[in-house]
Structures are given as structure tokens and as C-alpha cells.
Amino acid sequence: MPIISVAIQKGGSGKTTTTINLGAALQRSGKKVLLIDADPQANLSQSLGMKEEPDFNLYSEIKKEITGEGSDIKKAIVEIRPGFSIVPASIELADAEMELVSVYSREQVLSWILKPVVNNYDFIFIDCPHSIGMLTVNALVACDLVLIPLQAEFLPLKGVQSFMRQFKTIKKRLNPKIKLMGFVLTKFDERKKMNHNVQEQLETEFGSKVFQTHIRTCISLAKAQEAGMDVFTFDKNSNAAKDYDKLAKEFMDKLEQ
Ligand SMILES: Nc1ncnc2c1ncn2[C@@H]1O[C@H](COP(=O)(O)OP(=O)(O)O)[C@@H](O)[C@H]1O
Ligand SMILES: [Mg+2]
């Protein structure tokens, strides 16, 4: 507990990067963390060094759940190191978008799948795909909190407003307990006026829901992903390691508020 969806429909916002490195920062502070790769592109799985698709993955368990066989999520969990584990994706996960449409209680499938392990972790993060399809809806129904990374370079407000409409509908109809945890600005350059403008606009609309910690643009993040590691393992002295550590602290403070 809790389950956090890392979501926004725009690609390249830093969802996967934030899932990995916020997760890693929390694990390094002593928390037990599980990451769920709910994106058929499997960037999260690959970025943590999984080169081959394992037999058991998120898709295999969704499939078993919807065919009535019953899922066993524990089989699909891969431990990266003690306290840091992942449920990998596979390319077939793209089929789940269609397959879920026609099943009974289609929005709740991921909730049921995760139930047996919810109490085994301090935090479960779900890395969502770029669309608000069945996989994202399942993540939003399964979670307690939503974290939205946004690239500070573009004016993201339009996308945010459309995401928030979906969020409100899901809160009203399917998951009343869901809460917006906040927005994290990524690829931030303190010298760029545009980046500060984006922050101001977000704060005008969402107030304290905007994290004060910025994730600066840092090449180590991409290099770490290429090497199949989180940024702390790759280069613990990088700006990105410092920023994600700071974000983890602010994240914990926000949870306690
Ligand atoms: N703070 C950052 N600095 C530099 N590159 C970043 C940063 N955050 C993410 N990236 C890079 O940007 C790309 C998109 O990020 P990613 O986390 O995959 O976004 P999403 O999951 O929202 O599509 C990746 O190649 C990643 O390495
Ligand atoms: Mg991603």
C-alpha cells in the first residue's frame, strides 16, 4: 500500500523514468517497492535490464484472469534487488486493450490481479501507456493515487485538462478513493523562462499539487536506461540522482500531510 499510477496521455513526459527512479529512491530509503509495467512498449522492463520477455508477465496474468483460469501475479514478479521488484510487460499487452473491452467488470481486472500482493509492498507504482485506453483505466481504478510527470518545455495544460476530465469521471463512477497526488515537472532547465511559465500556470490551476522538486534535464537518465539500470546504480552523483532523491523526500512529506 498505496498503489500509485504514473500517468498522462502524452508520450515523452517522463512517466517511465519517474516510475523507475522515484521507485529506486524510495527503495534505497528502506521501502519495499513493486513496479508494474502496464505499457505494451515495455520501456520500463527494458530500462531495468530485461532483454527477453519472460513467460509470466502482466499480459499472461490479465489473460488468465479474463479467461477464468485465475491470475497469479506472484509468478510474474521479478526481483531486481531486495526491496525492488517489477512485473514486466510484453508486446502482447497491446492485445489486452481489445481483449479487456468485452469482459465482465473490464475496468477492475488489474485491481483483482494486484489484490494478493498489495500488502506485501510499501509502494506499488504502475507505469501507464500514452493513451487513456483500457490499460490506463484499469490502472486508475486499481490505484489510490495518481502522479503526473510533465515535460516543462511544452505548454501541457490542454493535455492535463483532458486527463483531469477522465480522472474525475473515474473518481465519480469507478474509484471514489482515487486522489491526485500531484504534478512533477521533468526535463527542467532553470534558465528557461518557458519552464518557469509552465510551473506558474500549473500552480495557478492546481496550487500545492505541483511538486516543488524539479527533475532537471540530465543525460545520465537516458544512459542509465540504455544500460538497464536505475540512475542511482548508474551514477549516484548525477543531478538526476539528486533530483529523484529530493522528489522521494517531498513525496513522503506529501503522503504524511
Ligand atoms: N530529466 C530528464 N533528462 C533527460 N532525459 C530525460 C529526462 N526524463 C526522461 N528523459 C528521457 O526522455 C525520454 C522519454 O522519457 P520517458 O520516461 O520514457 O517518458 P514516457 O514514459 O512519459 O513516455 C526517455 O528517452 C528518457 O530517457
Ligand atoms: Mg513510458
Ligand 1: residue of 5, 8, 13, 17 to mutate (most ligand atoms within 8 A of CB) is 17
Strand partners, 35: 86, 125
The one-letter amino acid at 51:
K
Average pLDDT score over the chain: 96
pLDDT of 148 over the 70 cut? yes
Q: How far apart are alpha carbons 69 and 90 in whole angstroms? A: 20
Task: Supply the CATH number for residue 100's domain.
Answer: 3.40.50.300
- 247 in ligand 1 pocket by Cβ < 6 Å? no
Residue nearest ligand 1's atom 16 by CA: 14
- 54 in ligand 1 pocket by Cβ < 6 Å? no
d(CA 36, ligand 2 centre) in Å? 12
Phi/psi zone of residue 131: left (φ > 0), alpha (ψ -120 to 50 degrees), beta? beta
Residue nearest ligand 1's atom 14 by CA: 12
Q: Give the chain's domain count.
A: 1
* pLDDT tens-digit series, residues 94-107: 999 999 999 989 99
Confirm whether pTM is higher than 0.85.
Answer: yes
pLDDT of 51 over the 90 cut? no
Residue range 67-78: mean pLDDT, rounded: 96
* pLDDT tens-digit series, residues 204-255: 999 999 999 999 999 999 999 999 999 999 999 999 999 999 999 999 999 9
From the centroid of its chain, how far is CA 59?
17
The parent domain of residue 25 ranges over 3-256
Cβ atoms 129, 13 nearer than 8 A: no
DSSP summary character for residue 104: T
Task: Verify cis geometry, omega within 30 degrees of 0, for the bond prior to 149.
Answer: no
